[in-house]
């Protein structure tokens, strides 16, 4: 009967991956009613793995990494400016949010049973999970170990 709720701050793109876990209950910050002013996430460039479509490889050239970072910052700046202009013109927040990229940060609360967390952590801390999602899962795994040390220890022994 035990459960755990965690607060996650991430991009809309990664939040979409997390929200696919249907055994959890979610509450997400609404950009429909409140101004989205939490900022943007910027991600590193990684090469697509040719053998595993769910994997990326961190071996990009520094110049390509720099280009990707600059492209993200430029797009984010343009989108933020257009979003602010839309709000200044009186366009509803629920409409203006369509100008925001998937790198816009959001906050969500994820609540699930211990059983759901065990399954999620086993799946999302393993191979085949996007690095940014895996980083979140690993942080949650540390929280889980603090809240449920006996269960976490049993999970470690089982692996």
User: Residue 115's pLDDT band (boundaries 50, 70, 90)?
Assistant: very high
Residues in the chain: 159
Structure token pair of residue 115: 């059983």
- 3-class secondary-structure state, position 115: helix
pLDDT at position 32: 80
Ordered DSSP codes for 84-95: HHHHHTT--HHH
Structure token pair of residue 90: 């009186």
Q: What is the pTM of this model?
A: 0.89
Structure token pair of residue 116: 């759901």
Lowest mean pLDDT among 19-23, 54-58, 147-151: 54-58
Kindly report the average pLDDT of the chain as a whole number: 93
**Segments forming the whole domain that contains residue 46:** 3-158
Rg (CA), the chain: 18
Each residue's pLDDT tens digit, 28-76: 988 787 788 779 999 999 999 998 888 899 999 999 999 999 999 999 9
pLDDT at position 37: 76
pLDDT tops 90 at residue 22: yes
- 3-class secondary-structure state, position 96: helix
pLDDT tops 70 at residue 159: no
Q: How far is CA 8 from CA 66, 75, 111, 121, 129, in A?
A: 27, 24, 11, 15, 17
Torsional sign, CA 41, 46, 52, 55:
negative
| Domain harbouring 136, CATH code | 3.30.1360.170
Active site residues: 124
Give 9's contacts (C-beta < 8 A, 6+ positions apart). 38, 105, 106, 107
User: Residue 128's pLDDT band (boundaries 50, 70, 90)?
Assistant: confident
Structure token pair of residue 135: 């980083």
Instruction: Give the chain's domain count.
Output: 1
pLDDT at position 16: 95
- Structure-model confidence comparison of residues 35 and 142, the more confident one: 142
pLDDT tops 90 at residue 120: yes
Q: What gap in Å lies between CA 5 and CA 26, rounded to an integer?
A: 9
């Amino acid at each position: 009967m035990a459960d755990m709720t965690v607060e996650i701050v991430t991009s809309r793109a990664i939040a979409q991956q997390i929200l696919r876990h249907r055994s959890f209950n979610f509450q997400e910050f609404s950009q429909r009613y409140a101004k989205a002013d939490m900022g943007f996430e910027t991600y590193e460039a990684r090469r697509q793995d040719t053998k595993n479509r769910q994997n990326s490889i961190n071996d990009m050239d520094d110049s390509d990494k720099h280009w990707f970072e600059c492209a993200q910052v430029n797009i984010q700046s343009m989108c933020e400016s257009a979003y602010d202009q839309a709000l200044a013109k009186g366009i509803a927040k629920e409409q203006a949010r369509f100008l925001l990229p998937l790198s816009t940060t959001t906050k969500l609360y994820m609540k699930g049973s211990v059983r759901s967390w065990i399954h999620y952590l086993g799946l999302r801390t393993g191979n085949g999970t996007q690095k940014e999602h895996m980083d979140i899962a690993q942080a949650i795994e540390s929280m889980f170990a603090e809240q449920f040390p006996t269960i976490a220890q049993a999970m470690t022994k089982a692996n």
